[in-house]
Amino acid sequence: GRVKRVVGGVPAKPTQIQWQIALEENKRIDCGGAYIGGCWVITAAHCVRPNPRAFRVKFSLWKKSRAQDTTDIVPVEDIIIHPKYEQHYLYINVLYSFTASVLLWANVSLINDCGRFYGNRFKPGMMCAGDVEGSVDSCQGDSGGPLVCVDELGVSYLWGIVSWGERCGQPGFPGVYTQVAHYFEWIRLHIGWSAVTKF
């Protein structure tokens, strides 16, 4: 497959990014997501349709596909889309088939005042990350996947969700992410406090 993927990434070590999931729709993988605890996974709304039966969640992505056991692939019971999600904010996404290779990750910096790059397409609840030169970025296929901040104790916090951008790795067009904190109350309303897992 000709999957477009993270720019400037390096392979993850086994179990390094345990919260990363892959979202499978009718045997294809076009999106990622993050396990946040309990029975909850978070992803980008443009990755899903309100039809849980079309999707499965794949865990343990560091395992070679033949080493995956049945519990690494789980069905989806329900899909909750944020009420303010508006499809017309999105660009048309070309879907790439994910003949899966290895999970890659990259170090990105948070970039402030992203309206200078994207004008009024950049809206509240969005944030930008990468670098201005375009040497690190997320890309198609990464959508819905996690951007985490790691604190001084090594605890990872879900900060952003891969959302959109002007192609990938383009100078002056950093990747745009959903700012998780902006939706925290809504997320908490659905999952409750107890569900949040510490990684």
Residues that bind ligand 4AZ (CB under 6 A): 93, 137-140, 142-143, 162, 164-165, 168, 175
Which H or E run contains 56? strand 55-58
Residue closest to ligand 4AZ, measured at CB: 165
Of residues 82 and 190, the one with the C-beta less far from ligand 4AZ: 82
> Minimal distance in Å, beta carbon 180 to ligand 4AZ?
16
Residue 35 or 118 having the CB closest to ligand 4AZ? 118
Residue 8 or 37: the one with the smaller Cβ distance to ligand 4AZ is: 8
Burial of 110 per CB tally in 10 Å (0-12, 13-18, 19+): middle
Q: How many CB atoms lie within 10 A of CB 182?
A: 13
Q: Is the dihedral of CA 23, 60, 138, 3 positive or negative?
A: negative
Give the separation between CA 15 and CA 161, rounded to whole angstroms. Answer: 20
CB of 72 to ligand 4AZ, least distance (A): 24
Residue 30 or 187 having the CB closest to ligand 4AZ:
30
